[in-house]
Structure 1
Amino acid sequence: MVIKLYSVSDGPPSLAVRQCLKAINLDYTLINVDFGAGDHMTEEYAKLNPQKEIPVLDDDGFLLSESNAILQYLVEKYYDGNDLYPKDPKSRAIVNHRLCFNMAFYYSSISAYVMAPIFFDYQRTPLSLKKLHIALDVFNTYLKTLGAKYSASDNLTIADFPLCTATMCLEAINFDFSKYSYVSKWYETFKRENPDLWKIAEEGMKEIAEFEKNPPDLSHMDHPIHPIRKVK
């Protein structure tokens, strides 16, 4: 049995799942989905995920999309420890909260400000900047209130993976979030104490930084949701 992960090399959700696989020391086959070539928009890929989003996990024919669900599945099936995804209901609820917060509020605000203007016909506006600062301020408050080393506990949990890969998008465009001191401290702690996991995110960050300077031409792609920017 070989686990396959369909992943995009600079996508924060994909990178978060790769961090998890590394953390639990699980062997897998990495299948690169070329976003620029529109691999995810094909009918063949739609058989893996009708949403045509990335990543997708294939565990011996069991297909699972949505990175949060993949993270939860991987640790529940393949990890014996109680640290990455605690079994205590309250502790687990905090982890689940952080996962939901990232998906619905934190990364969505970061993606709208950082990623969408790079890859599609969106602009960085005062409103998107305001929403980004609100998201950072809320995350800063959660970290301050919890008073723990990591986002949901004093030890690393699966919640830290997507929060880290979301935050690295800001670093990729040299966005200064240092005034959010708890976010900055958590982020630097993650990088310092988990170099193998950070290396995965860093590789994606470098790609985003390069795309920030030289946006990709996606004019050949027919995307049903996002307007395609024409690169001059």
Structure 2
Amino acid sequence: MVLKLYAVSDGPPSLSVRQALAQLEIPFQLIPVDYGKGEHMTEEYALMNPQKEIPVLDDDGFFLGESNAILQYICDKYKPDSNLYPRDPKIRAIVNHRLCFNLSTYYANISAYTMAPIFYDYERTEMGLKKVHMALDVFETYLKRLGTRYAAADHLTIADFQLVNTNMTLEAIGFDFSKYTRIQKWYNDFKQNYPKLWKISEDAMKEIQHFAANPPDLTHLNHPIHPARKINK
């Protein structure tokens, strides 16, 4: 049975899983989730993922949420010898660390500044900006100390997908991160070396830019945690 991926077209976690599946040449069925219509908030969707978050992988009735876990799972099951998720314990530990770092710090702080104000009733504050620069500074330090071409090794890994797509949201809002020279080079190298994979991110970036200029009305979702922006009509 072909894998099914429930995903949104502009969400960094969804993009990362799509890129891994593409790079590994694993056939899958992409099932778009309409975030604006609240398809992820339904009881039917909750049967697959009680967190009601996106993406979700369906492997013949085995449902898995959390993009990091999905990335690890598809590598382990379908392409266990791929360099995308190396078997060497130390290299894999660094990959796992970068995935955790993205989840806890990089994506957490950056998306709160780039994405949340587009869709929800959040403001871009000085404190939020400080957290973005803190995250960038730490990642710059990791790249400097490790001295590899990519985020966790001298070759592409699943960690790069998550971090690239976080970075993409900065570019989407026109945020200048050029002073972080190692991040800038790593990000541009990904674009140049993997144009087909970058196209997945680039298409999403254009959508984010559109939404930034034309904020969607999500007040009907009644999200339990994130209050929707009030759109002046």
Instruction: Give the TM interval when normalised to the shorter protein.
Output: over 0.9
Q: CA deviation at 1:82?
A: 4.0
Cα offset, 1:83, TM superposition: 1.2
Q: Corresponding residue for 2:166?
A: 166
User: What is the CA-CA distance between 1:229 and the residue it aligns to?
Assistant: 1.1
Give the secondary structure class of the aligned counterpart of 1:141: helix
Aligned to 1:35: 35
Corresponding position of 1:131: 131
Aligned to 1:55: 55
Match of 2:110 in 1: 110
Determine the C-alpha separation between the residues in 2 that align with 1:42 and 1:62: 19
Correspondence for 2:198: 198
Partner AA of 2:67 in structure 1: S
> Which residue number in structure 1 is paired with residue 224 of structure 2?
224
Which deviates further from its counterpart, 216-225 or 77-86?
77-86
- The alpha carbon displacement at 1:81 in A equals 2.8
- 2:120 and 2:74 map into 1 onto residues whose CA distance is 32
TM-score, normalising length: structure 1: 0.99
2:99 matched residue in structure 1: 99
Structure 1: distance between partners of 2:101 and 2:181: 19
Amino acid at match of 2:207: E
In 1, the alpha carbon distance for the partners of 2:214 and 2:174 equals 15
Partner secondary structure for residue 75 of structure 2: helix
Counterpart of 1:178 in structure 2 is 178
Question: Could you list the runs of 4 or more consecutive aligned residues of structure 1 that deviate by over 6 angstroms after TM superposition?
Answer: none
Gaps of 5+ in 2: none
Deviations, residues 108-163 of structure 1 (Å, cap 9, x unaligned):
11110011100000000000000000000000000011111000000000100110
Number of the residue aligned with 1:11 = 11
- How far apart, in 1, do the equivalents of 2:114 and 2:40 lie? 21
- The answer for the alignment partner of 1:73 in structure 2 is 73
Q: What SS does the aligned partner of 2:76 have?
A: helix
Post-superposition offset of 1:80: 4.2
Q: RMSD in angstroms over aligned alpha carbons?
A: 0.7
Distance 1:23 1:2 in 2: 17
Report the TM-score when normalising by structure 2.
Answer: 0.98
Alignment correspondent of 2:20: 20
Residue by residue, what CA displacement relative to the aligned partner does 1:18-64 show, whole Å, maximum 9, x if unpaired?
00000100110000001111111111111110000000000011100
Q: Could you tell me how far apart the structure 2 residues matched to 1:145 and 1:101 are?
A: 15
Work out whether residues 81 and 87 of structure 2, in 8 Å CA contact, stay in contact via their aligned partners in 1.
no
Q: Report the equivalent of 2:85.
A: 85
For the residues of structure 1 that align with 2:204 and 2:48, how far apart are their CA atoms?
23
Q: Distance in 2 between matches of 1:228 and 1:173?
A: 19
Tell me the equivalent position of 2:207.
207
Whole-angstrom distance in 1 between the partners of 2:160 and 2:61 = 28
CA distance in 1, matches of 2:77, 2:198: 24
* Count of residues in correspondence between the two structures: 232
Q: 2-side partners of 1:47 and 1:132: how far apart?
A: 35
| Other structure's SS at 2:19 match | helix
Deviation at 1:189, TM superposition (A): 0.6
